[in-house]
């Protein structure tokens, strides 16, 4: 192994060609993961070595379980992994008993031969888009070697593990942007599925209405292979790239021209959209009214996930253990305790109306937005200043929250770097339930022009 940034699919092809084997690959990644700082909460070397050894034997016999047999994978520490504690990034959970069974997706992955390398760091209870964790440390964004920048959250460890070459791909969760934001900040592909596209059994919740599952990867191909695997189709991907000449894309130019979108983010998105046009895609620039209605709803009533998160953590907030929580997370949860029931119901009713509305407005087109309006900010000011943290967190999640509210699957795609060398990203989204269609379009869009 020489290239730590190899994709899962590429590693599987290397196994097939005999260029390396699952045992050697695991030891390569495990050594890198063990020497990393604040990226993993738990490593599972004993399990990983047993799984890698079994996979290597299957490849030796020419009988792999699938194209990803023997490929290491990491899991955000919201997923139950048998024999490990699910901390959810919280010190107050660190002494909980170990999980007695794998989460459903962990179980599926294991049966397909993937190698569980460990569990990655996350914002406490997955409740932030920035990525700070005072208990287990904050994974450092690998793109800036001089100044510590945030990794994005809440799937912070999963993103940095992939971006830093500690594992080929990793699983996260996304309630308001927690896969898409760290993908954007770390130059990765991030796939947020529709909320019920994958099983959430054995995954610690934040919002039962808005929670979704998704991977952080180096390629759309990996997202497609994992999607097939979790859907019970563990084999070579048959999902071909969409014909861009038959696709329509909609760019909300009101959002794109907003002063909150940094110049580098905007320029790189426009360049990527021009590339789609050159390849035959039709691109419309127009206001998408449903998106702006969601912005107004959030401003008027608040965020739908907030009261659901309070319901999950109400007992903790009333206990002495609340003093051991991340003060940023605790303050946000405490602030949501006064969320009015009527506001919550109004949000649910509006959501019921807007999910079909966005389908009608797009009328078969793919929505294109910046994933985040800015690149990863510096870490230290956000650790020092709680008010700045809250302001930046809201700005970071502003665009991805809309897709979550509308249950839109989304794929964050890297678009390059800004003048400071930090990654930028665009987000492709479609109406709820059109996950496979989105992946085929993202596959085509990610191919070189």
Q: Is the dihedral of CA 68, 70, 71, 77 positive or negative?
A: positive
Q: Does residue 16 sit in the same domain as residue 51?
A: yes
Residues 329 and 405 in one domain: yes
Nearest to 410 by CA among 368, 354, 349, 363: 368
Asked whether residue 52 falls in the same domain as residue 195, the answer is yes
- Annotated catalytic, 50? no
Residues 181 and 305 in one domain: no
199 is annotated as an active-site residue? no
Same domain, yes or no: 160 and 303: no
pLDDT per residue as tens digits for the range 260-296: 999 999 999 999 999 999 999 999 999 999 999 999 9
How many independent structural domains does the chain possess?
2
Q: What angle do CA 128, 432, 246 make, to 5 degrees?
A: 120
Shared domain for 200 and 291, answered yes or no, is: no
- 319 counts as catalytic: no
CA distances from 381 to 140, 262, 302, 329, 375 (A): 14, 19, 26, 17, 15
- Give every CB contact of residue 174 below 8 A, 6+ residues apart in sequence: 155, 180, 190, 192, 211, 212, 213, 214, 400, 404
pLDDT at 1: 65
Q: Please pick, among 7, 154, 219, 432, the residue that the annotation labels catalytic.
A: 154
End position of a domain, from candidates 197, 230, 263:
230
**21 within some domain:** yes
**Residue-level pLDDT at 2:** 76
Determine, yes or no, domain membership for 240. Answer: no
Q: How many residues does the chain have?
A: 449
Residues 190-247 pLDDT 10s? 999 999 999 999 999 999 999 999 999 999 999 999 999 998 877 666 678 999 999 9
308 and 380 co-located in one domain:
yes
Q: pLDDT tens digits, residue range 81-98?
A: 999 999 999 999 999 999
In 3D space, the residue among 126, 108, 115, 122 whose CA is nearest the CA of residue 58 turns out to be 115
Q: What is the mean pLDDT of the chain?
A: 97
Which neighbouring-strand residues pair with 251?
A: 285, 368
Percent of the chain with pLDDT over 70: 98
Whether residue 242 is contained in a domain is answered as no
- The active-site residue out of 128, 155, 156, 178 is 178
Res 161: pLDDT: 98
Quick one: pLDDT at residue 93?
98
Asked, for residue 241, whether it belongs to a domain, the answer is no
User: Is there a single domain that holds both residue 256 and residue 380?
Assistant: yes
CATH number for the domain spanning 277: value is: 3.90.1300.10
Q: How confident is the model at residue 106 (pLDDT cuts 50, 70, 90)?
A: very high
Mean pLDDT of 370-383: 98
Same domain membership, residue 357 and residue 212: no
Over residues 344-371, the mean pLDDT reads: 98
- Per the domain annotation, does 74 fall within a domain? yes
pLDDT of residue 236: 61
Q: Round to whole Å and give the CA distance between 153 and 384.
A: 18
If asked whether residues 216 and 310 sit together in one domain, one would say: no
- pLDDT tens digits along 118-129: 999 999 999 999
Please give the span between the terminal C-alpha atoms of the chain, in angstroms, as a whole number.
Answer: 29
Residue-range definition of the domain harbouring residue 294:
249-433
Shared domain for 195 and 288, answered yes or no, is no
Residue of 7, 36, 76, 158 marked active site:
76
Residues 101 and 131 occupy one common structural domain: yes
pLDDT of 448 higher than 90: no
User: Residue 235 falls within a domain, yes or no?
Assistant: no
Q: Can you give the pLDDT at residue 10?
A: 97
Does residue 243 lie within any of the structural domains? no
Is the residue at 26 inside a domain? yes
Q: What is the pLDDT of residues 380-421, one digit of tens each?
A: 999 999 999 999 999 999 999 999 999 999 999 999 999 999
Where are the alpha helices (H) located in 318-363, listed in sequence order?
327-335, 341-362
Per-residue pLDDT tens digits for 54-84: 999 999 999 999 999 999 999 999 999 999 9
């Amino acid at each position: 192994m020489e290239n730590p940034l190899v994709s899962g699919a590429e590693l599987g092809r290397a196994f097939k060609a005999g260029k390396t084997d699952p045992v050697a690959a695991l030891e390569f990644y495990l050594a890198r993961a063990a020497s990393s700082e604040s990226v993993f909460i738990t490593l599972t070397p004993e399990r990983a070595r047993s799984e890698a050894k079994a996979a290597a034997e299957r490849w030796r016999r020419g009988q792999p379980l699938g194209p990803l047999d023997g490929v290491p994978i990491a899991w955000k520490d919201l997923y139950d992994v048998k024999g490990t504690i699910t901390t959810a990034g919280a010190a107050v959970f660190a002494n909980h008993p170990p999980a007695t069974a794998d989460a459903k997706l962990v179980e599926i992955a294991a049966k397909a031969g993937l190698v569980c390398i460990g569990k990655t760091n996350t914002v406490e209870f997955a409740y932030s888009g920035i990525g700070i964790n005072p208990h287990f440390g904050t994974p450092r964004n690998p793109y800036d070697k001089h100044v510590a920048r945030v990794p994005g959250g809440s799937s912070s460890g999963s993103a940095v593990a992939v971006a830093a070459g500690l594992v080929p791909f990793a699983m996260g969760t996304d309630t308001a942007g927690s896969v898409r934001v760290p993908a954007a900040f770390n130059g990765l592909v991030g796939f947020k599925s529709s909320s019920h596209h994958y099983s959430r059994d054995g995954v610690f919740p934040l919002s039962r209405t808005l929670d979704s599952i998704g991977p952080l990867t180096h390629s759309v191909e990996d997202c497609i292979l994992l999607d097939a695997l979790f859907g019970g189709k563990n084999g070579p991907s048959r999902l071909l790239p969409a014909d861009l000449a038959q696709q329509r894309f909609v760019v909300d130019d009101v959002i794109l021209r907003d002063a909150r979108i940094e110049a580098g983010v905007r320029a790189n998105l426009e360049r990527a959209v021009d590339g789609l046009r050159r390849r035959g895609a039709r691109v419309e620039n127009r206001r998408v009214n449903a998106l702006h209605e969601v912005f107004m709803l959030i401003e008027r009533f608040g965020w739908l996930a907030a009261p659901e998160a309070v319901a999950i953590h109400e007992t903790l907030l009333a206990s002495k253990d609340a003093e051991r929580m991340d003060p940023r997370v605790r303050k946000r949860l405490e602030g949501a305790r006064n969320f009015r029931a009527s506001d919550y119901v109004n949000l649910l009713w509006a959501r019921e109306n807007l999910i079909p509305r966005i389908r009608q407005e797009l009328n078969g087109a793919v929505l294109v937005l910046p994933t985040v309006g800015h690149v990863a900010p510096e870490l230290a000011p956000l650790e020092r200043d709680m008010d700045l943290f809250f302001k930046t967190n809201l700005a970071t999640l502003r665009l991805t929250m809309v897709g979550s509210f509308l249950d839109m699957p989304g794929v964050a795609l890297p678009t390059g770097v800004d003048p400071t060398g930090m990654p930028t990203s665009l987000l492709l989204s479609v109406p709820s339930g059109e996950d496979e269609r989105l992946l085929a379009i993202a596959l085509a869009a990610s191919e070189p022009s």
